[in-house]
Structure 1
Amino acid sequence: MDEPGFHARRRAELEQRAAARDGKLGLHGIKATEPLENREELRQQVSVPEARDESVAGSYQEVGYRPPATVVNADEIPGPKPVTGTVPTVEPLDRPHIRGMKPQLQMMTGVMLRYDTTVNNVWHGFAMIVTSDGGSDYSQRPQLALEWDATSGAIADRLANVHISELPRRDPSGGGKEEGVHSLRLDGQQIYTYYSVAGGQTFWRFKIEIPLGEREEEIFYSLNGGPECSFWVPAFDQEFRVMYHSCNGFSSGVDTDSFNGPDPLWRDVLRKHEEKPIHVMVGGGDQIYCDPLTREPEIAPWITETDVNVKIAAPLTDEMKLALDRFFFNWYCAWFRGGAFGVAVGKIPMLNMLDDHDMIDGFGSYPDDLQQSPVFSAIGAAGYKWFLLFQMFIVDEMDGTRPETAVGIAHVNTHPSKSLIIGGDGAFIPFPNHSFLSYLGPKMYILMIDWRGERRKDQLASKTTYERCERAVDALPAGVEHLVVLLGVPIAYPRMTAIETVLESKFNPMSLLAKAKIMPSAVNKFNAEAELKDDLADHPCAGDHKKERNWLMERFQHMATSKHIRISIMSGDVHATANSKFCSTKKVAPAKDPKYMLQIISSAIVNTPPPPAVIWLVTKLGQKRHKTLHYIDTDEELIPLFEEDTDGSKPKSNTVMGRRNYCMADYDTASDDLQFTLCVEKSQGSGTTKEYAIRAPPPRW
């Protein structure tokens, strides 16, 4: 039996989207209603939810939906405004075709997308799924079908006035081909199988290559003939529209209901994507918070052991090994398929770099004897392995780790990931450094440096890694004007030297209070040192990292000058947004100053901001203009970007904003500026944002 063709399905989908945008439908096709006036009215009127309105094509009930914990103002309700009168019906397809997977797969995750890079105007990326072997039919390999308009809209324009019922239909028995529609059929590659008590769970990777055309295109895909979803690729001469985020989870002890959970800002991202396509979303670290691992029954006794020497000497048992894989597998499946973030990973290709919480809190910043201990090093190794698998779709045992196969030069790399740079060997884990250099348009690239794989108390990454990253940058083609460098932790941040000194002392107040059982949470779970100590040691501005940090800034300046590119730095980690600039100590216009570099901090998209006292302290410490880099004639300072608070009032700090946020980056073709727009949540849990923009000028020296 034939089914609606590509253009018929696209017409129906466009009408559905237009109805939603115009306020005729609510978010995801659900009717929108006005908020109730107060909490008492809410309590009186809430009853059993009404059944969905079947007259609305494509409507569905949201899985796991719960009412928000707080009632916000009407202007803070995300999505289209309600309308009065009858909700119109979107015209359905004649004989609507119900798409179901054949053969059937039992999915542990949805389809997840990852962008790699672009080579010779061909977009390279991956899709990955995880399936449960016991409930899946593997009579044929899972197949991903992709379709897009190969005529840059010419046929769609020609068919614009044709009624939807008369649009071409597809006959599967005839090969299913349609005029002007480019299609790919990709068989999944089995890259890993996790064996649990429930049986095998298999990871399937699909290598995607899409020639870029004269306009940006929406690429539609389906798995084994099942429901369709889509993502966007830019035109061959277009710069990518990029979304940056970090800290995509809650720390332990946070009242998540008071933030309306993890979804609000991700819903805002999806709304922006619907209005104007986002081509890639860059995770700057802590895409998942793995700290609940410490509560696993096999791991908890080691965590709660108070004698550090006993903890360091403890053997890694088989039960612990099983518990580590069990935790990471289940935790990743739950987080990457759930909520609005789970929707986003199937619509916007990811490009991620890890930070400590993707492994375990503070990994790499503890003393060597603890980091080298059998249990703690195994925790770090498991975290890194599952990061590579779930976020980068890489399995080192299969894909290889020979440095000559992964140099970050896309047309040279023979590794499946053409953007990968294999760096130095891990400090406490059996994995080398994995950094990446990816194309974001003819004039823009991103360098993501792995600051976790080789980290130790006195090292962020090795010279080997930095040199290989620099060689990859040296090979960038002519015409590149902007290089975004992603560093998981800010390289410019107010100094906490006095606090570091106090915490290094054996008489530091945090440890004394913990020993007296007045504030047991003042020390960490791993070696009873002050809880703040590993956070401070994590930062490049910490005393142990200062020399490396300053040397790295010198190398960035060398790259900017030698390649004639503007370098901008993107960071996360600190759960607040603050923006800095490096510039020449001499008065030079930013566009003519190769030392002019912005550092944008986008953090956190989910987690709680620091308390007001911390924001106040960071603001005060940030008022000092540091002379650390004066030996290379470089100033650094915070930028007073926040002259107005999200409600229009005057903020207490104009340099540090303690609200949840993410960042959009858009290339201005008129000026060649790269504009970073911080999208800051207006009020806690509202999911609506106020925008603050800052621009990095092109290199004009």
Structure 2
Amino acid sequence: MTSNPTQLETSHKSWFTQLPMDNYLQSVVDTAPDKIKGEKEDACPSDYNLGDLSIACGPLVRFLASHENDSNNYRGSILLVVRNFDSNQKIPIVNFAVGPSIQNDISKEFFLNFFDPLKSEIIHHEKEFTFFRYFFQFELQDYEQKVKYSVSKFTLPHYQFYIPTKYQSMNIMSFSCNGFSLGTDTESFKGSLWLDVIRKHNNPNFHYHVMIGGGDQIYADSIKNISKKFQEWLKHKHIHSKEKLTQDMEDSFDDYYLNRYISWFGKGYWYGTVGKTIQSILPIALATIPQINIFDDHDIIDGFGSYSDITMRQEIFAGVGQHAFKYYMLFQHHTPYNESPQNESSWIMGKTKGPYITENSRSIFAKLGKSIAFLGLDCRTERTKHQIVTSSTYDLTFDRLEKEIHNSIQAGKQIKHLLVLLGVPICYPRMVFLERIMDSPLISPILYLARKGIIAHGLVNEFDGEVELLDDLNDHWCSHSHKLERNKLMDRLQKFGERHNVRITILSGDVHLCCASRFRTLKSADELNPKNDPNFILNLISSAIVNAPPPDGMVKFLSMRARKHIFHFRIAEDMVPLFDYEAGSNNHRDHPLFMNKRNYSDIIPVENLSKEYILKHFGETTNKYFIPGKVVVNKEASYNDAAENMSAFKSKNSAIGYPLEEDGIIATIHVENSTENPKSETSDYEIVVPPLEAKELTSHC
């Protein structure tokens, strides 16, 4: 990565103000050797230097927690990976300058806080790489703050992030599938949606305070090509072999994951079997928007956890998961995998070790500001073909949620929205009939010929010789293996939300297209007003920010399978017709339920938006209903009047009205207009999610 680091002068105030906000995006672009600058993609970019430090990866900023124990705190960490650090060099230090996010005549009167250098901690050393971790904590104020930081007295334009006021909830960006599948031809993808993320982040109306990774933050499937030892085993093994995991093979796994993260998180460089790409806006985003992540199969290898038990328990295959977990913890959580979990209160630790990754599962709870809580459920560490999460982990998770709800009420900071991150959609078209076909003994002769390479060798995977698509189907919550577990989880979530007046919204990715689905009460008197419906739960599905979308035929196929289902008595689940119009044009779409274009999403509290923004997007009043997508019902006054005005739209869209209120949130899917445009512009598809109508609160603790 080329860069122009600035060495700080003695005046800290000039350091804080040297980069006006309106020049921020341009300065980021100027320091980023992305495709928009025409850099060649033949090789991974080199490290960049800060003084005598060779920065291989980072800084990576991680968000940990806020509003803990009746406080207005904000916690996080920074990870820095330095190449060839030796004892003659000074330990890199990190300094912070913190002040109001908007510099104007009024804010100049505010006192700027300058913090002593953060304590540097070496958490890992491997080959030529040294991993430095820095914990930080700030006090939330009455105004939004900008945090600028330096490394060893050097800074870059993107060495900054934003934290909300103590009265606000955070502006949240969410993404998944951050990489290409191994065989993708990248030639037609001229832009990077990470550029659009930075563009939105630079919006004067709001900045992203946190960035949620919903899984597949890195694509590690190429381990089967890069690790020669693993490749040899795959070529010559017998299915379900008892071959042992050797030290040479373990070393090759370590070498692969270490360098894959250094290349992708550090340089934005990816390569597969038929294509390469440089998306160097990615490491800039990772340095300027604090992250909170869970992992999914591609952070390990395609389908990990969803193959047959005898395949998953092979020592070599399980070893892939074990080594992937090590680097997932290091790069995505700034944590050595063997570090005591007692050091971090945001973890929800499973009681027992996983069946294949022999580590305790790590789900995450964090308050994203005053009234939004986040639960990232670890759906991979404990996963088997017949289980996603153990019963004991579910119990621990809901116990933690009950405790946090009770504490928030006691502190006068009631949680009004709970975002639940599940890597794979929980409300999605059923594919059970395909599972039955692929599991049927009738296709065994075809599979035998494919395994021998006589016909369509790509029909089967190299791990267990089953149909290649079957692991993806087994991953889904609606598969026949997971359906009962899925229904129990949704039942607990719905009852939890109703008991505590908390609106639950589920975030998912994985499927390489975007859509929205929902649970809601049927035949309710309040059907047009979901704020009174405790069973109304939206599943926002946003995928992929980098990977190639599926063909149009998949959208047509999914639309045919997208039927309304009865979850249980009086509760329905269906897809939301969000995409009536094509991204980047006014062309009407035949299949409004799914959009097969690259995308990411955000969640913005209504209260964080300016009056000008609301007027521009929603009109002159907040007492309205909004159909998902672009349709606005311009009827003011009572909900009943609005209901009459909506009747013409209801049969067409099968949609209920969503009122815009101060305690609500706006969920937006940003869809790429064209892969040919290096500017990576997007179209917005919005859903307003109202709070759950308040009733007398009980803690139930």
TM-score, normalised relative to structure 1: 0.80
Deviation at 1:131, TM superposition (A): 1.5
Hey, what's the Cα distance between the residues in 2 that align with 1:248 and 1:139? 35
Distance 1:130 1:539 in 2: 36
Structure 2 residue 96 is the aligned partner of structure 1 residue 146: yes
Map 1:411-560 onto structure 2 (within 5 A).
415=343, 417-424=344-351, 425-476=353-404, 477-478=408-409, 479-508=414-443, 511=447, 514-515=450-451, 517-560=454-497
Compared CA separation, residues 2 and 380, structure 1 to 2 (3 A): closer
CA offset at residue 152 of structure 1? 8.7
Aligned equivalents of 2:165 and 2:454: distance in 1? 61
Structure 2 Cα separation of the partners of residues 139 and 359 of structure 1: 35
Q: Which residue of 2 aligns with 1:41?
A: none
Aligned counterparts, 1:96-111, within 5 A: 101=50, 104-111=52-59
The answer to whether the 8 A contact 2:564-2:574 is kept is yes
Could you list the per-position Cα deviations for residues 540-575 of structure 1 after superposition, in whole angstroms to 9, with x for gaps in the alignment? 100000110001011101210222100000000000
Change (3 A) 1:690 1:2: closer
User: For residue 592 of structure 2, what is the amino acid of its counterpart?
Assistant: N
Counterpart for residue 305 of structure 1: 236
Deviations 1:267-286 (A, max 9, x none): 00011111231111100000
1:202-260 CA-to-partner distances (Å, cap 9, x unmatched) read 21111110111111111010111112411111111111000000000000111112112
Aligned partners of 1:370, 1:512: CA distance in 2, in Å? 17
**Which of 663, 671, 695 matches 1:680?**
671
Cα deviation, residue 607, structure 1:
0.3
User: Given that residues 105 and 136 in structure 1 are in contact (C-alpha distance below 8 angstroms), is that contact kept between their aligned partners in structure 2?
Assistant: no
Write the letter of the residue equivalent to 1:361.
D
Of 327, 333, 340, the match for 2:281: 340
Q: Which residue type is aligned with residue 254 of structure 2?
A: D
Q: Percent identity?
A: 31
State how far apart, in whole Å, the 2-side matches of 1:528 and 1:306 are: 12
Counterpart residue type for residue 268 of structure 1: D
The aligned length equals 592
Aligned to 1:191: 123
Residues 2, 361 of structure 1: CA spacing in aligned structure 2 closer, same or farther, 3 A cutoff?
closer
Do the aligned residues in 1 keep the contact of 2:8 with 2:154 (CA within 8 Å)?
no
Q: CA deviation at 1:307?
A: 2.4
Tell which deviates more after alignment, 276-285 or 533-542: 276-285
Residues in 1 aligned to 2:579 and 2:39: alpha-carbon distance in whole angstroms: 28
Alpha-carbon offset, residue 314 of structure 1: 1.4
How many Å separate the matches in 2 of 1:447 and 1:525?
35
Instruction: Report the counterpart of residue 115 of structure 1 in structure 2.
Output: 63
- Give the Å deviation of 1:155: 7.9
SS of the equivalent of 2:692 reads coil
Partner of residue 381 from structure 1, selected from 322, 340, 345: 322
Partner of 2:574: 637
Conserved 8 A contact 1:123-1:210 = yes
Pick the aligned partner of 1:604 from 519, 544, 548: 544
Structure 1: 5+ residue runs without aligned partners? 22-26, 31-58, 70-98, 160-177, 406-414
Counterpart of 1:287 in structure 2: which amino acid?
Q
Report the 3-state secondary structure (helix = DSSP H, G, I; strand = E; otherwise coil) of the residue aligned with 1:437: strand
Q: Which residue of 1 aligns with 2:560?
A: 620
Deviation string for 1:400-429 (max 9, x for gaps)? Answer: 14xxx4xxxxxxxxx2x3311101421211
Q: For 1:350-394, what per-residue CA distance to the aligned partner results, in whole angstroms no more than 9, with x for missing partners?
A: 111100000111011011111111100000111112111110112
TM-score (norm 2): 0.80
2:511 paired residue number = 574
Give the 3 Å change call, closer, same or farther, for CA 8–66 of structure 1 in structure 2.
closer
Partner in structure 2 of residue 124 of structure 1: 75
Amino acid at match of 1:619: S
* 1:5 equivalent in alignment to 2:27: no
Distance change (3 Å), C-alpha of 1:685 and 1:5: farther
1:267 to 172, 176, 195: 195
Among 140, 147, 151, the residue aligned to 1:219: 147
Listed one character per residue, the Cα deviations across residues 64-115 of structure 1 (whole Å, up to 9, x for unaligned) are 876499xxxxxxxxxxxxxxxxxxxxxxxxxxxxx9856x322221211000
What is the rounded CA distance, in whole Å, between the counterparts of 2:533 and 2:550 in structure 1? 34
**Which stretch of structure 1 is more off in the superposition, 5-14 or 380-389?**
5-14
* Cα distance change on mapping 1:250 and 1:148 into 2, 3 Å: same
Contact 2:178 2:218 in 1 (8 A): yes
Distance 2:488 2:216 in 1: 26
Alignment map for 1:155-234 (pairs within 5 Å):
157-158=107-108, 180-194=112-126, 196=127, 200-228=128-156, 229-234=159-164
Are the aligned partners of 2:244 and 2:315 in contact in 1 as well (CA < 8 Å)?
Answer: yes
Question: Tell me, what secondary structure is at the counterpart of 2:57?
Answer: coil
**Deviation, structure 1 residue 453:** 0.3
Q: Which amino acid aligns with 2:115?
A: S
Secondary structure of the 2:133 match is strand
* CA distance in 2: counterparts of 1:554 and 1:13, whole angstroms: 50
1:14-93 equivalences under 5 Å are 14=20, 17-18=21-22, 27-28=26-27, 62=33, 67=38
- Residue 36 of structure 1 is matched in structure 2 by none
User: CA offset at residue 138 of structure 1?
Assistant: 5.6
C-alpha contact 2:32 2:281 (8 A) present in aligned 1: no
Question: Residue type matched to 1:392 in 2?
Answer: H
| CA distance, structure 2, for counterparts of residue 536 and residue 251 of structure 1 | 17
Name the CA distance, whole Å, in 1 between partners of 2:481 and 2:55.
46
Q: SS in structure 2 opposite 1:237?
A: coil
